[in-house]
Amino acid sequence: MVSPRPAVQALPTYRPGRNPADLAREIGVARAVKLASNEVSFPPLPAVLQAVTSTMAESNRYPDNAAVVLTGALAERYGVDPEQVVIGSGAVTLCQQLAQSFADPGTSMAFAWRSFEMYPLLAQVAGARDVRVPLVPGRPGGPADTHDLTALAAAVDDTTRVVFVCNPNNPTGTAVRGPALERFLDAVPTSTLVVLDEAYREFVTDPEVPDGVDVMRGRPNVAVLRTFSKAWGLAGLRVGYLLAEDPAVAEAVRKTNVPFSVSLVAQAAAVAALDSEDEVRARCATVTAERARLTGELRARGLVVEDSQANFVWLPLGERSAEVAAELEARAVITRPFPGEGVRVTVGSAEEDDVFLGALDDVLSSRDLLPAGA
C-alpha cells in the first residue's frame, strides 16, 4: 500500500471560506453574504478587465516564466533591482517557497500565534519545527491580539532559519510599530531570515506602522512579502511577490518556483492593476472608512473590537466563537471562526456589513452568546 509522508498525513485540511451561493441554496434564501476571506467587495478594475480580455488571445502560449514586465514594474515602484524581486502564485505559495528554500529537518521556523494559519503547516511539510510565540494584549486589560516581539526574538536560536512577522496580523488586525520592529530586527541574528508578511499593507492608516520595504533597506536578512489578492482585487488570479534586500535570498526563493505557475493572464492583470494605483488607493480609503464605521457599530453593541489596520475586524469571542459564526451562517452571513479564540469578519460594502450587523443583532437578542466582559 502506498502511503504519503507522515508529516503530510498529519496535516489538517485547509478550510477556505464557504461559497455564498452554496450556502444560499442550502438554507433556502436568495443570497448569502461572504465576509470570510478578506476579499474586497469591488469588481475588478476596468484596466484589469481590459488586460485580461486582450491577453486571453495569447493563452495558447506559456507565460513568461521570469515575469519580466511585472518584475520590472515592481522594481521601479519600490526602487529596487529586479534581482531583488520574486513573483509567485499568491503570497502563500511564496511562503511555501521560503520554507522549501531555507528550512531543513532539524531547523525551526518561528512566528506569533495566533497568526496566518498556513505558517505551521508549511513548517510541518518542510520537516521543520514550528515555534509559536503567544500573542499579548495590545493594551492593558485587552485581548491577546498583538505580537510580543521581545518574546519572539528570545525564541530565535541557532536552529531558526525563518521568522514570519505578519504585520498587520491575520486574523487579529493589529500591527506593530516602527521602534518595536527596529529593536526586534536588531536583536535577530543575521543568519536568520525575517519575513515581513504585509498582505494587508495597503489598508494601514496608523502612521506609526512602518512600511516594511523602508525597514528592509540595509538589512540583508529581511524580506517583505505582499500580494495582489487583497487591495488590488486579484484574489482569483493568484499573484504575490517577495522583495528581498539580499538578491541571494530572492534567487534561492526563485529556484523553488514551479515553472509557469503565474499565468499569462495573471501577470498582465497585475501590471494593469499597478497602472491603476490611484483608483486602488481610493478603494482602500473607502474600505478603511467602512472599517471605522463597522468598528463603531460593533463597539456600540458592547463587543470588544480593537483598532484594525487590515480589511477585517476581529471579535475575540473565546469559546463562543464557533457558535456565533454558526448562528450567523444560519442567517446567510459567512464569517471566519477560529474556535476557542475569535471570529474574523471581512470589511465588506456598507450594504453587506449592514446585513451582517442585522444578523448579529438577531443572534445577540436570541441567545446569550457573548463571553463575560465582551
208-263 pLDDT, tens digit each? 999 999 999 999 999 999 999 999 999 999 999 999 999 999 999 999 999 999 99
Dihedral angle of Cα 249, 251, 254, 259, to the nearest 10 degrees: -170
Q: What is the pLDDT of residues 110-155, one digit of tens each?
A: 999 999 999 999 999 999 999 999 999 999 999 999 999 999 999 9
* 47-274 matches 6-44+278-366 in CATH topology: no
Q: How confident is the model at residue 351 (pLDDT cuts 50, 70, 90)?
A: very high
> Among candidates 340, 308, 305, which has minimal Cα distance to 324?
340
**CA pair distance 281, 211, nearest whole angstrom:** 16
- Asked if the peptide bond before residue 137 counts as cis, ω within 30 degrees of 0, the response is no
- 226 near 232, Cβ under 8 Å? no
Domain residue limits, the chain? 6-44+278-366, 47-274
CB 95 within 8 A of CB 123: no
Three-state SS for 18-44 is CCHHHHHHHHCCCCCEECCCCCCCCCC
Give the global pTM: 0.95
Give the CATH fold of the 47-274 domain. Aspartate Aminotransferase; domain 2 (3.40.640)
Model confidence at 374: pLDDT above 60 = no
- The CATH class given to the 6-44+278-366 domain equals alpha beta
Tens-digit pLDDT profile for residues 42-99: 999 999 999 999 999 999 999 999 999 999 999 999 999 999 999 999 999 999 999 9
User: Closest Cα to residue 217, out of 182, 187, 173, 253?
Assistant: 182
Nearest to 166 by CA among 273, 91, 84: 91
All three cell numbers of 290, joined, read: 467602512
State the number of CA atoms in the 13 A half-sphere of 348 facing the CB. Answer: 19
The percentage of the chain sitting over the pLDDT mark of 70, rounded to a whole number, equals 98
Helix 264-274 / helix 68-78 crossing angle, nearest 10 deg = 30
